[in-house]
Amino acid sequence: MAPQESAPSAAETESGFSRRTVLKGIGFGAAGIAAAPVLAACTGGSKPSSGGGGGGGAASKSVTVGSGSSDDVPKRAYQAVFDAFKAQSGDTVKVNTVPHNDFQNNINSYLQGSPDDVFTWFAGYRMRYYAGKSLVAPVDDVWDSIGSNFSDALKQASTGDDGKKYFVPNYNYPWGYFYRKSLWASKGYQVPKTFDELKTLCAQMKKDGLIPIGFADKDGWPAMGTFDYINMRTNGYQFHVDLCAHKESWDQQKVKDVFDNWKALLPFQDPSALGATWQEAAQNLGKQKSGMYLLGSFVTQQFTDKKVLADIDFFPFPAMAVEGQDSVEAPIDGLMLTKKAANNQAAKDLLKFMGSGKGQDAYASIDTSNLQTAKDADTSKFNALNKKSAEIIANAKHISQFFDRDALPAMANNVMIPALQKFIKDGSIDTKNLEAQAKSLYAAQ
Amino acid sequence: MSDLPLVGLPADVRPERTTTAAAGKSRKVRRLNGRDKLVLGFMVGIPTLIQAVFIWIPMLLSVALSFTKWNGLALSDIKSNGLQNYKFVVQDYPPFWPAVQHNIIWLAFLALVATPIGLLLAVLLDQKIKGSRIYQSIFFTPVMLSLVLVGIIWQLMYEKDNGLINNLLRTANTPNATDWYGNSSINLWAALVAATWRHAGYIMVLYLAGLKGVDPSLKEAAAIDGATASQTFFRVVFPAMRPINIVVVVITIIEALRAFDIVYIINRGTNGLELISALIVQNLVGEGQVIGVGSALSVMLLVISLVPITIYLVRTFKKVD
């Protein structure tokens, strides 16, 4: 059996019944087996275009892109980038867009099968992991020409464990507490700078009949944002990095402190969080049912009413024990090069274009909820919210990605999601068990 | 595959035999000639091959993988892990025991509630009531609907603030509104109602066929002997449907074990909706792939599934003999 086939077949290696259930899941567009052939089918046509590596890259004037940006706005935004690239270079770009959950879930088999030349991905552990497994190609020569366009923090975020660069950033976005200015002004609320002020504000909001903190965790991952922030504010940025890499044990007082601190916020969170999606929580914020909501700035995509959108503001997570508000959670999205496109000059040109202000501006012209990362990007069209976001990121001493981007995916998906959901439900956490699971899962990689 | 060369041999030999032996003629009619054997070989061999490639080999690989740790990338990364995966699942994996418990609840609910409802529907529709066909279609529709539709339909029912149920209860948009999907002590039952909605229609169709197959003279005889309607049903008709009953029992057990779709649509089988099948998918498919643990879980489910299957097969083949 060829190595690239082993991942999908392993997914099939269940009893007949569960195999059938998996096949059923495909109907819902969620299971991996289905999408692997779909991805393969999409990329089938791209093989000749990439020149197969043997023919050298110079002749290749076309590039295929595997995109997980399947939502309407990001999809159109990426199309704008590719159109602009086509207009500038004359190279043709073929895009294969896959629903983003499927794209992420199938990335293993995708990269081992017949992937596109370039694909959309994230910085952080999720990038370094595949770089370490040599499933993606280094892009140091691209960085030679775009390097001066990025801050050191972004350079660092694009570097693999072997010191080579593997990633070209497109945009990032900060996580913070979003709120409606008009509601806060009418009630006289002040932006809390410290955790104690936050708790006092929450108590006041509760008295005023609001849900102080909008919260939604049906999908499991949004709660990680709160965990990350309380962890970084309690134990510092480096502890977040080491904990995500499992260089620190989960079964220690520092982790327990995080949950103890969070417990103070639990009574103020939306009690129906476990049945709600972030989109629903965003709607509650828009309708002024909840006072504030901790999420990435993509939350603004939900406010289609211009008046509501103009009324949205945010503040960084309040200071707690250490490092003030130095750390900001600001995940970076961008492009990577697959192994097979290592010699495809058109693909590298596309990455260079993505690393230029011009390319990123093309994206931002459609998707305004994110921030360009290149220094020469045009920020004149920024709205007030963008400006504030950019400022907060620029002033941050440490930029974290997100728990599920900084940690082992199995740890984030299989361990943290159920653990955090249980914590949100009854305020209990078993750090000893978290450590036992982490030990076993990190050892399996 | 191995049948093919064997089939080839007699084909070459037989023509000589039939010419030499005069008594061969009558035998020739009964026996299969070479061509028949070749065709039969293909007809048996190809499905066997497909079965082997798509079911048996992956299954055996799965058993093998359950004793390893592997990141799903290069084959050289596979490392032996002894019984550690099983130990991990049983001792350290918090969703496992709730999943087992939920599968048992699922089975009990299907067996004690959903299947009897299906039987009841079948008995009612078997009476010569007006529009029986229409009712049949209505009750059977859920079985035919695609998963996405099932998910959407129940989402519309159960949504906290916009759902039909809470609006009928007049609790929507109030703090008293029941969070059908989010409350982990309720959502299993909400999912079971949705499962029953499908399962009952399925069972109904099976029993309708069974009831049609029962000799009406049995009922008449019972009526002449003075049996009441319920006595006739439970003492005469129901036992007469024994073959169907066995099929229904097996189907109910299998449906309970492979229950997956509805919980996966609701919240991917977390927060009170853990099922073994959902845990398998969580561990085998997707980014959080832990192949060793996922394989161990699927082997466990396989072993559990083998029990009802074996009982069913033993009973079926006994009858044939």
**Chain B residue with minimum CA distance to A113:** B73
Rounded to an integer, what distance in angstroms lies between the CA atom of residue A67 and that of residue B62?
A: 31
Contacts of B265 in chain A (CB under 8 A): 28
Residue B257, min C-alpha distance to chain A (Å): 8
Q: Which residues in chain A are closer than 8 Å to B147, comparing Cβ atoms?
A: 24-25, 27-28
- Strand-pairing partners, residue A335, are A120, A168
Q: What percent of chain A has pLDDT over 70?
A: 86
Please, are residues A88 and A141 in contact by the beta-carbon 8 Å criterion?
no
DSSP state of A317: P
Determine the residue type at A339: K
In the DSSP assignment, the letter for residue A319 is B
Contacts of A54 by beta carbon, 8 Å cutoff, 6+ apart? none
pLDDT tens, residue by residue, A215-232: 999 888 999 999 999 999
Closest CA relative to residue A331, chosen from A390, A392, A405: A405
pLDDT tens digit sequence for A235-267: 999 999 999 989 999 999 999 999 999 999 999
Residue B93 to residue A437, Cβ atoms within 8 A: yes
Contacts of A276 in chain B (CB under 8 A): 160, 182
Q: Are strands A62-67 and A118-122 parallel, antiparallel or unpaired?
A: parallel
No. of helices (H) and no. of strands (E), chain A: 23, 12
A434: which 2 tokens?
């978290």
Chain A environment of B148 (Cβ under 8 Å)? 27-29
Let me know the angle formed at the C-alpha of A223 by A133 and A433, rounded to the nearest 5 degrees.
70
> Are A17 and B284 inside 8 Å of each other by CB?
no
Query: So what's the pLDDT on residue B20?
Result: 45
Q: How distant is the alpha carbon of residue A274 from its chain centre?
A: 21
Question: Backbone dihedral region of A288: left (phi > 0), alpha (psi from -120 to 50 degrees) or beta?
Answer: left
* pLDDT beyond 50 at A46: no
Which residues of chain A does B260 touch, with a Cβ-Cβ cutoff of 8 Å?
Answer: 18, 21, 24-25
- Report percent pLDDT > 90 for chain A: 54
Q: Is B54 in Cβ contact with A9 (below 8 Å)?
A: no
The residue of chain B with its CA nearest to that of A133 is: B73
B94 interaction partners in chain A (CB closer than 8 Å): 418-419, 422, 430, 433
- B270 vs B93: CA distance, rounded Å: 13
Say if the Cβ atoms of B291 and A272 lie within 8 Å: no
Instruction: Verify whether the Cβ–Cβ distance A25 to B55 is below 8 Å.
Output: no
> Parallel, antiparallel, or unpaired for β A167-172 and A332-337?
antiparallel
B108 vs A395, more confident = B108
Residues in chain A within 8 Å Cβ distance of B259: 21
Positive or negative: CA dihedral B50, B53, B58, B60: positive
Q: What architecture is domain A175-329+403-443?
A: 3-Layer(aba) Sandwich (3.40)
> Letter for the amino acid at B88?
F
pLDDT grade, residue A343 (50/70/90)? confident
Q: Which residues of A touch B264 (CB under 8 A)?
A: 25, 28, 30
Half-sphere exposure of B241 (CA within 13 A, CB side): 25
In this structure, are residues A367 and A77 in contact, taking their beta carbons and an 8 Å threshold?
yes
Q: Return the amino acid letter for A54.
A: G
Among partner residues B81, B183, B291, which is closest to A10 by beta-carbon distance?
B291
Which chain B residue lies closest to A432 (C-alpha atoms)?
Answer: B92
Residue A107: its pLDDT value, please? 86
> A32-172+332-376 has which fold?
D-Maltodextrin-Binding Protein; domain 2 (3.40.190)
Answer whether B277 sits within 8 Å of A21, measured CB to CB. Answer: yes
- Interface test mutation site (partner B, options A108, A424, A440, A445, max chain B beta carbons within 10 A): A440
Number of residues assigned to chain A: 445
Helix and strand numbers, DSSP H then E, in chain B = 18, 2
* Average pLDDT value for chain A: 84
The DSSP symbol for A121 reads: E
Side chain identity, residue B7? V
Please report how many Cα atoms fall inside a 13 Å half-sphere around the Cα of residue B133, on the Cβ side. 0
- The CA distance from A224 to A174, in Å, is 14
pLDDT for the residue A41 = 39
Name the amino acid, one letter, at B164: L
B92 with A17: Cβ contact below 8 A: no
Which chain B residues touch A422 with a CB distance below 8 Å?
Answer: 94, 271
Q: Which of A3, A13, A27 lies nearest to residue B147, judging by beta carbons?
A: A27
Cβ A12 vs Cβ B65: under 8 Å: no
Does the distance separating the beta carbons of B295 and A275 come in below 8 Å? no
CA distance B73 to chain A (A): 7
- Chain B residues touching residue A30 (CB < 8 angstroms): 264, 268
Interface confidence, given as ipTM, is 0.77
- Provide the shortest C-alpha distance from residue A46 to chain B (in Å): 23
Which residues in chain B have their CB less than 8 angstroms from residue A411's CB?
288
Res A296: pLDDT: 92
Mark yes or no for CB contact B58/A17 under 8 Å. Answer: no
What does each C-alpha distance from A254 to A99, A156, A230, A241, A318 come to in angstroms? 38, 27, 11, 14, 19
| Residues A3, B153: Cα–Cα separation, whole Å | 41
Instruction: Dig out the tokens for A117 from the structure.
Output: 């030349």
Nearest CA in chain B to A18: B258
- Say how far apart CA A130 and CA A201 lie, in whole Å: 43
CB nearest to B184's CB, from A19, A274, A430: A274
Amino acid occupying residue A3? P
A105 to chain B: closest CA residue: B286
Which residues contact residue B311 at a Cβ distance below 8 angstroms, ignoring those fewer than 6 apart?
Answer: B250
Picking from B73, B75, B96 by the largest number of A CB atoms within 10 A of its own CB, the best residue to mutate is B73
**Which residue intervals of A248-397 are DSSP H helices?**
253-263, 278-286, 306-310, 345-354, 357-364, 384-395
Mean pLDDT of the region A176-194 = 94
Q: Which of B69, B265, B287 sits opposite A105 (nearest CB)?
A: B287
Query: How far is residue B232's CA from residue A352's CA, in Å, rounded to a whole number?
Result: 82
**Using CA atoms, how far apart are residues B65 and B70, in angstroms rounded to an integer?**
8
User: Distance, in angstroms, between A144 CA and closest chain B CA?
Assistant: 31
Domain residue ranges in chain B? 3-59, 96-273
3-class DSSP state of B276 = helix
- Please check whether residue B152 is in contact with residue B66, taking contact to mean a CB–CB distance below 8 angstroms: no
Q: Which of B58, B73, B93 sits opposite A108 (nearest CB)?
A: B73
Q: Which residues, in sequence order, are bridge partners of residue A295?
A: A176
Domain ranges of chain A: 32-172+332-376, 175-329+403-443
Please give the average per-residue pLDDT across A93-101, as a whole number. 89
Tell me the longest C-alpha to C-alpha distance in chain B.
95
Closest CA to A33 of A2, A11, A1, A15: A11
| Among the four given CATH numbers 3.40.50.1260, 3.40.190.10, 1.10.3720.10, 3.40.50.1000, the one describing domain B96-273 | 1.10.3720.10
Does B258 sit within 8 Å of A14, measured CB to CB? Answer: no
Q: Which single residue is written with the structure tokens 């997707």?
A: B286
- In whole angstroms, what is the distance from residue A177 CA to residue A299 CA? 10
* pTM reported for the whole predicted model: 0.79
Quote the distance between the C-alpha of residue A200 and its chain's center. Answer: 31
Q: Do A10 and B146 touch (CB under 8 A)?
A: no
DSSP class of residue A274?
A: G
A-chain residues near B91 (CB < 8 A): 436
Q: How far is A67 from chain B (nearest CA, A)?
A: 16
What would the pLDDT profile of A119-133 be if each residue is shown by its tens digit? Answer: 999 998 889 888 988
β-pairing, A371-372 vs A167-172, is antiparallel
Chain A residue with the nearest C-alpha to that of B67: A444
Q: Each residue of B181-214: b (16+ CB within 10 Å) or e?
A: bbbbebbbebbbbbbbbbbbbbbbbbbbebbeeb
Partners of residue B298 in chain A, C-beta under 8 Å = 13-15, 18
Rounded to whole angstroms, how far apart are CA atoms B308 and B302?
11
Q: What is the pLDDT of residue B69?
A: 86
pLDDT tens-digit profile, chain B (321 residues)? 333 343 334 444 444 444 444 444 555 556 778 888 889 999 999 999 998 888 889 899 999 999 988 877 777 888 888 888 999 999 999 999 999 999 999 999 999 999 999 999 998 888 878 888 888 888 888 888 877 788 788 888 888 888 888 888 888 777 778 888 888 888 899 999 988 998 999 999 999 998 888 888 888 888 888 888 888 888 888 888 888 888 898 889 988 888 888 888 888 888 889 999 999 988 888 777 888 999 999 999 999 888 888 888 887 777 655
Mutation target among A1, A17, A428 for the B interface, most CBs of B within 10 A: A17
